[in-house]
């Protein structure tokens, strides 16, 4: 299970990975960015929104409101303003359901977290939004733990790619075998988190299990599964592989929304 050490209470953390940027980006905006910025007064909250959108692939207006505003209408208005000057754009991944705000190249430059604007893949967006919801819930739940934080999949993948290049003298000879959907971190431990909305084949689970078994970076792996049959299948495979002292399976907590095409 995830950690519950006795630690002094502290204010609830916001969802930004690696700490909250409360200043405008260090890197200078491009000439185009400067022209856009002259049409809107950028704030540290705008930077924080851009950072969340870069790291989580995108967020709904409701998710942005929960993280950065006290009213949904205010969040929607600000996102519309940022979209009007080219920092974000609204995508529609579902026939029915909410739109998703993603960053543009300028938005990624504003975020200044060392990641490019994420690709928009409609078929993966439900998973990305569920991971973002879960990350927020876990950070609130363990806000009393000193130094609690969340590292996103995009950041983990970038680090793994950099290590692969280093091992091959700067050339990337192969892709990255696997990275978690996110990592809950404290100064002394890391807990890998997987969000499972659809069932994989047994061979794919076995490959991921072997990858985790070879790692020494994680104290524990927690799978959050959306449906009971998926939970039971993952639990069965974990026991069969004798990894139940290292892995566990939990249902998605209340507050995680899973969108589908017809919704």
Write the pLDDT tens digit of every residue in 192-224. Answer: 999 999 999 999 999 999 999 998 889 999 999
User: 109 and 206: one domain?
Assistant: no
Do 96 and 215 lie in a common domain? Answer: no
Residues 6+ apart with CB under 8 A from 124: 57
Same domain for 109 and 143, yes or no, is no
Contacts of 259 (CB under 8 A, 6+ apart): 93, 94, 97, 98, 125, 126, 129
Report yes or no on 3 lying in a domain.
no
Q: Are residues 117 and 152 in the same domain?
A: no
Instruction: Look at residue 28 in the predicted model and tell me its pLDDT.
Output: 57
Domain boundary among 121, 136, 163: 121
Expressed as residue numbers, the domain containing 170 is 124-251
Verify that 158 and 204 share a domain, yes or no. yes
Mark which of 92, 121, 150 sits at the end of a domain: 121
Per-residue pLDDT tens over the stretch 137-191: 999 999 999 999 999 999 999 988 877 665 555 554 456 789 999 999 999 999 9
Is residue 96, in this structure, part of any structural domain at all? yes
Domain contains 20 = no
How far the first Cα of the chain sits from its last, in Å, is: 32
> What's 72's domain CATH number?
1.10.10.10
| Position 27 pLDDT exceeds 80 | no
Q: Rounded CA gap, 85 and 102, in Å? A: 14
Same domain, 128 and 246: yes
| Separation of CA 128 from chain center | 7
- pLDDT for 191 equals 96
State the CATH number of the domain containing residue 236: 3.40.1350
Per-residue confidence (pLDDT) for residue 168, from 0 to 100: 52
Question: 121, 154, 184 — which closes off a domain?
Answer: 121
Q: Do residue 116 and residue 138 come from a single domain?
A: no
Q: Which residue has the higher pLDDT, 33 or 148?
A: 148
> Model confidence at 22, in pLDDT bands (50, 70, 90)?
very low
The DSSP bridge partners found for residue 248 are: 222
User: Are residues 104 and 148 part of one domain?
Assistant: no
Residue 175: per-residue pLDDT: 64
Residue 171 sits in the same domain as residue 107: no
- Report the pLDDT value the prediction gives residue 62, as an integer from 0 to 100: 96
Domains: count for the chain: 2
Contact between residue 9 and residue 144 where contact means Cβ atoms under 8 Å apart? yes
| In contact, 148 and 142? CB cutoff 8 Å | yes
Give the model's pLDDT for residue 5: 32
């Amino acid at each position: 299970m995830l950690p519950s050490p006795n630690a002094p209470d502290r204010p609830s953390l916001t969802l930004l990975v690696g700490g909250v940027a409360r200043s405008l980006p260090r890197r200078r905006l491009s000439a185009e960015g400067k022209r856009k910025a002259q049409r809107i007064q950028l704030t540290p909250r705008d930077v924080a929104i851009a950072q969340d959108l870069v790291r989580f692939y995108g967020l709904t207006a409701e998710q942005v409101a929960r993280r950065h505003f006290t009213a949904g209408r205010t969040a929607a208005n600000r996102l519309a303003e940022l979209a009007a000057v080219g920092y974000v754009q609204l995508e529609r991944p579902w026939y029915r359901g909410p739109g998703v705000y993603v960053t543009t190249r300028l938005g990624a430059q504003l975020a200044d977290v060392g990641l490019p604007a994420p690709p928009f893949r409609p078929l993966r967006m439900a998973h990305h939004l569920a991971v973002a919801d879960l990350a927020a819930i876990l950070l609130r739940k363990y806000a009393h733990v000193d130094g609690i934080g969340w590292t996103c999949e995009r950041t983990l993948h970038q680090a793994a790619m950099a290590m692969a290049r280093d091992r091959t003298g700067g050339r990337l000879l192969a892709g990255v075998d696997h990275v978690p959907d996110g990592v809950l971190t404290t100064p002394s431990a890391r807990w890998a988190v997987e969000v499972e909305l659809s069932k994989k084949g047994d061979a794919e689970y076995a490959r991921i299990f072997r990858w985790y078994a070879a790692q020494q970076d994680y104290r524990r792996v927690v799978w959050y599964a959306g449906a009971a049959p998926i939970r039971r299948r993952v639990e069965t495979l974990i026991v069969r592989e004798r990894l139940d002292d290292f892995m566990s399976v939990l249902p998605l907590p209340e507050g995680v929304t899973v969108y589908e095409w017809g919704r």
